[in-house]
């Protein structure tokens, strides 16, 4: 079962992902993959340097992500060029990680730009956490208010994310309340996964018996 988990910077999405992992979900983290595919020595990093120049590299030869972020978050055209390099690499690696998950897994794709890139239809269920993002970025992360607003403005709005959500997790309250919500969500995911497995087993049986495979999965 494929679950899309999305939320902007400062939404508390990582807390949701950690709790789903504790229940047994396989987490495929797009941000972690994005760092992997542009690590030193990778074709991805070579492509970025070719477009943005060596100034986006740190002294150690690794990508200076804050510097690159300053460049692209204020310019939609440059952001598009970066996305054209990174997104295909990330998509290929995430698919490989999904395929390596054990059979019958609930695979949660943690994808910050799921809404922006129109990816909701790829998942059986889309989960969106909600939280006051600007306050979180400024107060807890120490990010200057103007930079925080620029980051948020470059991403989908809360309304746009809620429009594609199958499940909304309120991540603004105490952690014990978040735990209760995740417990309920996991029960629903387990129910859906069991139903998918049942339908697949029935489809396999019908095909083995030479019957039409007309069950909808």
Domains and CATH numbers, the chain: 2-208 (3.40.50.300)
pLDDT-derived band at 167 (thresholds 50, 70, 90) equals very high
- Pick from 98, 97, 121, 96: nearest CA to 1: 98
Strands 2-5 and 26-29, bridge-based pairing: unpaired
pLDDT-derived band at 217 (thresholds 50, 70, 90) equals very low
* Of the ranges 45-49, 101-105, 199-203, the best mean pLDDT one: 45-49
| Greater pLDDT, 148 or 1 | 1
Distance of CA 44 to the CA centre of its chain: 19
Specify the pLDDT at position 201.
84
pLDDT-derived band at 113 (thresholds 50, 70, 90) equals confident
Tokens of 6: 């999305």
What is the C-alpha to C-alpha distance for residues 179 and 189, in angstroms, rounded to an integer? 15
> Mean pLDDT of all residues in the chain?
85
Question: What is the chain's alpha carbon radius of gyration, rounded to the nearest angstrom?
Answer: 20
**DSSP strands (E only) in the chain:** 2-5, 26-29, 107-110, 125-130, 167-170
pLDDT-derived band at 41 (thresholds 50, 70, 90) equals very high
Region of poorest pLDDT, from 22-36, 68-82, 126-140: 126-140
| Greater pLDDT, 104 or 21 | 21
The pLDDT tens digits of the residues spanning 44-71 come to 999 999 999 999 999 999 999 999 998 9
pLDDT-derived band at 170 (thresholds 50, 70, 90) equals confident
Specify the pLDDT at position 3.
96
Specify the pLDDT at position 198.
86
- Specify burial of residue 29 (Cβ count, 10 A radius: 0-12, 13-18, 19+): buried
């Amino acid at each position: 079962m494929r679950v899309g988990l999305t939320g902007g910077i400062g939404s508390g999405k990582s807390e949701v992902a950690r709790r789903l992992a504790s229940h047994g979900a396989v987490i495929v983290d797009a941000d972690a993959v994005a760092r992997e595919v542009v690590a030193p020595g990778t074709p991805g990093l070579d492509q970025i340097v070719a477009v943005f120049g060596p100034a986006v590299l740190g002294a150690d030869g690794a990508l200076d992500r804050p510097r690159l972020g300053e460049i692209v978050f204020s310019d939609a055209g440059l952001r598009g060029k970066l996305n054209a390099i990174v997104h295909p690499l990330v998509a290929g690696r995430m698919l490989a990680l999904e395929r390596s998950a054990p059979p019958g897994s609930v695979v949660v794709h943690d994808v910050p730009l799921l809404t922006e890139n129109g990816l909701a239809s790829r998942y059986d269920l889309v989960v969106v956490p909600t939280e006051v993002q600007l306050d979180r970025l400024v107060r807890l992360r120490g990010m200057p208010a103007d930079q925080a607003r620029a980051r948020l403005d470059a991403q989908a709005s809360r309304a746009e994310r809620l429009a594609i959500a199958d499940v909304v997790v309120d991540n603004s309250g105490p952690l014990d309340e978040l735990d209760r919500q995740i417990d309920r969500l996991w029960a629903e995911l387990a129910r859906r996964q069991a139903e998918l497995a049942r339908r697949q087993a029935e489809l396999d049986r019908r095909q083995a018996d030479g019957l039409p495979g007309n069950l909808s999965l």
